[in-house]
Structure 1
Amino acid sequence: MATKTELGPIARERKYAQDKQADEGLIPRKVPIVCSTRLGIALILHFCNFIMTAQNVIMSITIVAMVNSTSPQSQLNGSPEGLPVDSFGDLNKAPKSLPAKGSILGGQFAIWVKWGLPHEQNRLCSIALSGMLLGCFTAILISGFIIDTLGWPFVFYVFGGVGCVCCLTWFVVIYDDPVSHPWISTSEKEYIISSLKQQVRSSKQPLPIKAMLRSLPIWSICLCSFSHQWLISTLVIYIPTYISSVYHVNIRDNGLLSALPFMVAYIIGVVGGYLADFLLTKNFRLITVRKLATILGNLPSSVLIVSLPYLSSSYITATAFLTLSGGLSTLCQSGIYVNALDIAPRHSSFLIGASRSFSGMAPIIVPTVGGFLLNQDPEFGWRNVFFLLFAINLAGVIFYFIFGEADVQDWAKERKLTRL
């Protein structure tokens, strides 16, 4: 039976102070996250991320059918041959719409400045961001079936229609803050507002651009985010093509096998957010949790991918490696992708948008560089692509491990004007 003495002294003292304040009417009692409006907002963001990513990913699977449909020797409903090496020149054009993700992903973090409580940020952000993994899984899986039955143009019709629905839902449900939300309960509104009032606020100040450009913690976030997006982009863009060209799997099975890593990633991503919050309650340092999540989300995944060329004869092992690599990669959601909220709370929206825009260059560069390597060396092309991925990923992790921080930076500290 749990007793008060089982709590640590710090946790016990904090709980006692919070209960006393609640009893005195200074702050409302905690409103659980289950069935709350803030959880509903996280779910809306989840589905918006889902369709945004799905619309980008569908090109990576439909490119196989589009290229084959131009050949008189191939039929849509047949088993397509592996893509010829010169087809990667066409593949390079596929993800040119991806830079738009940078502004969208950065903008959604501004919501958590007024909605996300510090002890819930990992969970809420993980729920929202995991929609990208579900989008990858669904798009890659369903695209193969749609192509087989209706033809590749209908893939764009289906996901475009879902995108319109998500857009309308966003306009109706999402509000800037709890005060302006018409359907939030009074208790939850008071709980969020009172909790955030305890944070130090300041008057509007200009962005310290020069200080930001000189900040190594910011550069560590940007560079590690770029290296992680290089990993994700390689998985998203080249898994269908790799399976098709190396194992000669037909497009229906291609979609199923390519989607497996993202289904595992979806589950691990949500669990990772809860695990990060759990470690923080056990008095782990914040920077320790951030770096641990970042390292586990990068290095094991890149090591598994770089091993693939040596497993060309083992189809089952290669599939297992791809699945595990995609799953572990989402642990970064509780690492570098929310770190800006720690080092500069006042400017977190701008910094996250800037870092995601910077990392958004990876989906543009990956197919260009990958296509060049595969064209230059058909025999060892895949090995070169994966070794380059490992080198970039390792460099980003090392830089973040050395320079990453979780304390509010001097240039981001506010002129203390406490709201009472």
Structure 2
Amino acid sequence: MKQVKEGKITAELLEGFLKNKICVEPAPKIGYRHLQVFLYFLLCFIGFGFRVILSVAIVAMTDPNTNPNPNIPTYPEWHDKNVILSAFFWGYMLPQVFAGWAARRFGAKWFLVTTFAVNSVAGFLTPMAAAQFGSKGVMLIRVAQGLTQGFMYPSVTHLMSQWVPVEERSRLSTIVYAAGSAGTIVAMFVSGLISASPYGWPMVFYLYGGLGIIWCVLMALLGHDSPSIHPSISKAEQFYIERSLMHNMDKGNHPTPWKAILTSSKVWALLLAMIGNNYTWWTLLTQIPSYMNSVMHFDIKNNSLLSSLPYLTLWILSFGVGFSSDYIINKGLLERTISRKVFNSFGMYLPAIALVILGYTRSDEPIRGVALLIAAVSTNAFHFAGFSPNSMDLSPNHAGAIMGLGGLSQFTGVIAPLVVQAVVTDPTNPVHWRYVFFISAGLCVITATIFNIFGTAKVQAWNNEEEKQDAEKSESSL
């Protein structure tokens, strides 16, 4: 037990624990793992806020009629709004794979603190960039924010693979991944409210810039890369986490098995599900304000409130999804792979059905339109217990790297607004929007079906490829 007191939890001790040779006190139900998850929640909450605020604020930035303060500048000459909205993703895709690899090799904490601080300062500079350099200046700011936020999800996924026990994976990962929805709700509402106030749209960017800096301070003080280096965690909680995960026990900096990952049909099933889901997500996220304004004829205040309702519903639903999934799996009601596919089917087929019906909704049916938007977005919550935690299922050791590859699916954030710009030549014509919704629905159905056929939640053999290689080297040296 000396090793336990010193915090040196070895593989042998874990094996002894599993054989009931070692007894320790139960882990706390609420512990430092939950504090870490809360920090990740706040990061995604604020990070998604940065992504969304421009989708709402750009209405006030380009339409003088929505601005009650004549001293706030507007730019009606900007005719490249969808290009501006897509610029975030030009930078977002670039660091994804590197971020997942770097998080595992060097630790994710300081990558996140540094990159999010840059992201927050860029938010502060958005009004100045718009005034001095026009739409091109805002595009540059968005590229920089995308580049820095590209570290967010791969790093957070790696950190959760260190902190979140398997038994709590669905509900705690849902809390983190659904934070984007919560951030979307608040950002849409606050952006519309502030943009329509005498403070004007610049205050939205100052507000989020400040929130981002506050998060960086909290993470610097309270965040840690793993339980083994946390200065205050109880030995019982550390033991519980590492016993559950059974990985990263003094592994060192072994190489990531890229060939095995890139040739795995299970990984590709996950990546395709991400592509289909993300295309739909970014289409709706960037275009709901414009759709509500152009087709449903809501003013900016009502627009921001109604645009946030689908994400509020999704966020509320996500809690039930995460806890239900863990309960079903832990009680043995469904095998983990089957559970992932069932929840993923609900999370991608139901939005597709809602979008098809929405495509036939007329401009004089605003209640039906809003209800279908709510259905399309909120039922997507089921994917939080579907493909979202699947990178940790497939490979706890390399979850960050897989999520980094999945981050390349964010190229859909570039494509989606450009497809809308090409298809919707008349923003007031519901038929043009019908094609947009049909494209999204079709991608959801195709990619969800591929995941259902080829996906799995079983840990893959290459997860422990490095241990296998080490064992082979040891045997050959005898």
TM-score range normalised by the length of the shorter chain: 0.7 to 0.9
Deviation digits for residues 327-365 of structure 1 (CA, Å, limit 9, x no counterpart): 11122112112112122222211111211x222111111
User: Offset of 1:282 from its aligned partner?
Assistant: 2.6
Does structure 2 conserve the Cα–Cα contact (< 8 Å) formed by 1:27 and 1:195?
no
Which residue is 2:372 aligned to?
Answer: 321
Which residue is 1:9 aligned to?
Answer: none
Does 2:160 align with 1:112?
A: yes
Computed over aligned residues only, the root mean square deviation of the Cα atoms, in angstroms, reads 2.6
User: Offset of 1:400 from its aligned partner?
Assistant: 0.9
Give 1:342's aligned amino acid. D
Which residue is 2:196 aligned to?
Answer: 148
Does 2:151 align with 1:103?
A: yes
Which residue is 2:129 aligned to?
Answer: none
Does 2:51 align with 1:56?
A: yes
The one of the two structures with greater contact order (alpha-carbon pairs below 8 A, sep at least 6) is 1
Which residue is 1:31 aligned to?
Answer: 27
Write the mapping of 1:250-261 to structure 2, written as runs, cut at 5 A. Answer: 250-261=299-310
SS in 1 for 2:274: helix
SS in 2 for 1:340: helix
Does structure 2 conserve the Cα–Cα contact (< 8 Å) formed by 1:28 and 1:194?
no
Give 1:123's aligned amino acid. R
Which residue is 1:383 aligned to?
Answer: 434
Q: Quickly say closer, same or farther: Cα 1:377–1:328, change in 2 above 3 A.
A: closer
1:403 to 447, 450, 454: 454
User: Offset of 1:195 from its aligned partner?
Assistant: 4.0
Deviation digits for residues 279-324 of structure 1 (CA, Å, limit 9, x no counterpart): 1023111111111121111111122122223222321122122112
User: Offset of 1:182 from its aligned partner?
Assistant: 2.4
User: Offset of 1:88 from its aligned partner?
Assistant: 6.9
Does structure 2 conserve the Cα–Cα contact (< 8 Å) formed by 1:22 and 1:29?
no
Deviation digits for residues 54-89 of structure 1 (CA, Å, limit 9, x no counterpart): 0010111111111213xxxx35139xxxxxxx9773
Counterparts of 1:407 and 1:185, CA distance in 2: 30
User: Offset of 1:366 from its aligned partner?
Assistant: 0.4
1:89 to 80, 84, 87: 80
SS in 1 for 2:63: helix
Q: Quickly say closer, same or farther: Cα 1:27–1:198, change in 2 above 3 A.
A: farther
Does 2:337 align with 1:287?
A: yes
Give 1:294's aligned amino acid. N
1:42 to 31, 37, 46: 37
Write the mapping of 1:221-370 to structure 2, written as runs, cut at 5 A. Answer: 221-283=270-332, 284-312=334-362, 313-355=364-406, 357-370=407-420
Which residue is 1:12 aligned to?
Answer: none
Give 1:373's aligned amino acid. V
After TM superposition, the structure 1 stretch with the greater mean CA deviation from structure 2, 367-376 or 245-254, is 367-376
Identity %: 27
Which residue is 2:119 aligned to?
Answer: none
Deviation digits for residues 228-268 of structure 1 (CA, Å, limit 9, x no counterpart): 01111122111111110011111000010000011111111
After TM superposition, the structure 1 stretch with the greater mean CA deviation from structure 2, 246-255 or 106-115, is 106-115
SS in 1 for 2:87: coil
Give unmatched runs, 5+ long, in structure 1. Answer: 1-17, 79-85
SS in 1 for 2:26: coil
Write the mapping of 1:150-189 to structure 2, written as runs, cut at 5 A. Answer: 150-189=199-238
Does structure 2 conserve the Cα–Cα contact (< 8 Å) formed by 1:234 and 1:366?
yes
TM-score (norm 2): 0.75
Counterparts of 2:345 and 2:367, CA distance in 1: 26
Give 1:206's aligned amino acid. P
Counterparts of 2:246 and 2:80, CA distance in 1: 54
Counterparts of 1:127 and 1:377, CA distance in 2: 35
Counterparts of 1:202 and 1:180, CA distance in 2: 15
Which residue is 1:139 aligned to?
Answer: 187
TM-score (norm 1): 0.85
Give 2:58's aligned amino acid. I
Counterparts of 1:46 and 1:323, CA distance in 2: 23
Does structure 2 conserve the Cα–Cα contact (< 8 Å) formed by 1:61 and 1:140?
yes
Counterparts of 1:201 and 1:185, CA distance in 2: 20
How many residues matched?
Answer: 387
Give 2:420's aligned amino acid. G
Give unmatched runs, 5+ long, in structure 2. Answer: 1-13, 70-76, 93-145, 472-478
After TM superposition, the structure 1 stretch with the greater mean CA deviation from structure 2, 51-60 or 329-338, is 329-338
SS in 1 for 2:295: helix
Counterparts of 2:169 and 2:157, CA distance in 1: 10
Does structure 1 conserve the Cα–Cα contact (< 8 Å) formed by 2:24 and 2:236?
yes
Give 1:114's aligned amino acid. Q
Counterparts of 2:257 and 2:232, CA distance in 1: 37
Counterparts of 1:290 and 1:62, CA distance in 2: 37
Deviation digits for residues 394-415 of structure 1 (CA, Å, limit 9, x no counterpart): 1111111111112223333443
Does structure 1 conserve the Cα–Cα contact (< 8 Å) formed by 2:165 and 2:245?
yes
Does structure 1 conserve the Cα–Cα contact (< 8 Å) formed by 2:359 and 2:435?
no
